Amino acid sequence: MESYTIESNKKKSRLPARLDLAQSGTGLILGLFMWVHMLLVGSVILGKGSFNFVAKTMELSFLSDTGHGYPIAVFFAVLTIFTLFILHALLGVRKFPISWKQHRIMRDQMVMMNHTDTNLWYIQVVSGFLMFFLGSVHLYVMLTHPGSIDPYLSADRVVSGNMWFLYLILLICVELHGTIGIYRLCMKWGWFAGKDARASRKKMKVLKNRLTIFFLSVGVLALLVFIVIGINHRDQVGERYETHAAAAQTIEAQEALPEVDLAPAVVEEPVVEVHPVVEESAVEAAQAAEAPAVEEVHPVDTGHDSEKPAE
């Protein structure tokens, strides 16, 4: 009895409640981020150009004079998400069953109660455990290669880098864990409870299921598009989308130009009759030289008058 009195007089710690609040806050931020992230990645369904536009916008290309953007912006964004991811995992692991005995007790209680929200919590535990490893790999790759968000580079990483299976499992875990987590936050903190808690819970479950189906469909379809792009791009692994697009534009511009015959053109020169011009003085001189010399004949004086004197 004395020991009970001593225990009841102890000041209760608020640390567990604060840790629980921090876990809820980090989970909410990460869950909303994953929804936005999936919509941005899903832009590849609309075409490579759409995904490239989203990637360049994330790199703040609209602030760059060259239009190439700043990959350092992606680095800090990934670093922030990575930090929240590790913090949320550390806060959540304190509620995991840490031994096989605890796991068996929990499983037996789940089978006995057959409670839907308890089953959802168990799915969160399993998916969170897998995400801790798979998500860390993905975030580390993005952290060390912040400038590799590109339709071709991302597709090469999926196909040529053999990451498709990791991304598929990570996609399923993320969408299940995030959607269930946000649903349980709403139930835990009484968000959107309304006047009828039972009816609100039912509506939230329906919304949760629809959101899970929607984001899983977008994610799987986007992954299939990346696989198709990666298969078609196997021979040009490492080539960026901008380089390929610029080369394609150059080829199109050349094809649009009119055909020009590069053979040397043969120009027919007009025939001009050339008449030698000879100076008249030279002609006269030549004629004078060829003509025989004519001597003047003078009458011979005989001393007799040619006329007889008149008689």
Low-confidence ranges of the chain (pLDDT < 70): 1-11, 243-311
Q: Which pLDDT does position 310 carry in this prediction?
A: 45
- Residue listed under structure tokens 């015959």: 261
Q: What is the pLDDT of residue 266?
A: 56
Ordered by start, the domain boundaries in the chain are 18-241
pLDDT at position 65: 80
pLDDT score for 307: 47
Give the CA dihedral 176, 177, 182, 183, nearest 10 degrees.
Answer: 50
> Do the beta carbons of residue 35 and residue 178 sit within 8 Å?
yes
CA 122 to CA 209: how far, in whole Å?
A: 17
**What pLDDT was estimated at residue 109?**
85
pLDDT score for 263: 57
CB-based contacts of 243: which residues, under 8 Å, 6+ apart? none
**Predicted confidence (pLDDT) per residue in 23-80, tens digit:** 999 999 999 999 999 999 999 999 999 999 999 999 998 888 877 889 999 999 999 9
Q: What SS3 string covers the chain?
A: CHHHHHHHHCCCCCHHHHHHHHHHHHHHHHHHHHHHHHHHHHHHHHCHHHHHHHHHHHCCHHHCCCCCCCHHHHHHHHHHHHHHHHHHHHHHHCCCCCCHHHHHHHHHHHHHHCCHHHHHHHHHHHHHHHHHHHHHHHHHHHHHCCCCCCHHHHHHHHCCCCCHHHHHHHHHHHHHHHHHHHHHHHHHHCCCCCCCHHHHHHHHHHHHHHHHHHHHHHHHHHHHHHHHHHHHCHHHCCCCHHHHHHHHHHHHHHHHCCCCCCCCCCCCCCCCCCCCCCCHHHHHHHHHHHCCCCCCCCCCCCCCCCCCCCC
Cα–Cα distances (Å) from 275 to 35, 149, 286, in that order, read: 95, 80, 19
Q: Which of 150, 19, 39, 30 is nearest to 81 (CA)?
A: 30
In the prediction, which pLDDT does 271 show? 55
Please report where in the chains the tokens 């809820």 appear, as a residue: 24
Q: Give the integer Cα–Cα distance in Å for 44 and 50.
A: 6
Question: What pLDDT score does 108 carry?
Answer: 87
Task: Tell me the CATH number of domain 18-241, given options 3.40.50.300, 1.10.10.10, 1.20.1300.10, 2.40.50.140.
Answer: 1.20.1300.10
- At residue 163, the pLDDT reads 95
Residue-level pLDDT at 260: 56
User: Mind listing the pLDDT tens digit for each residue in 186-217?
Assistant: 998 888 887 888 888 899 999 999 999 999 99
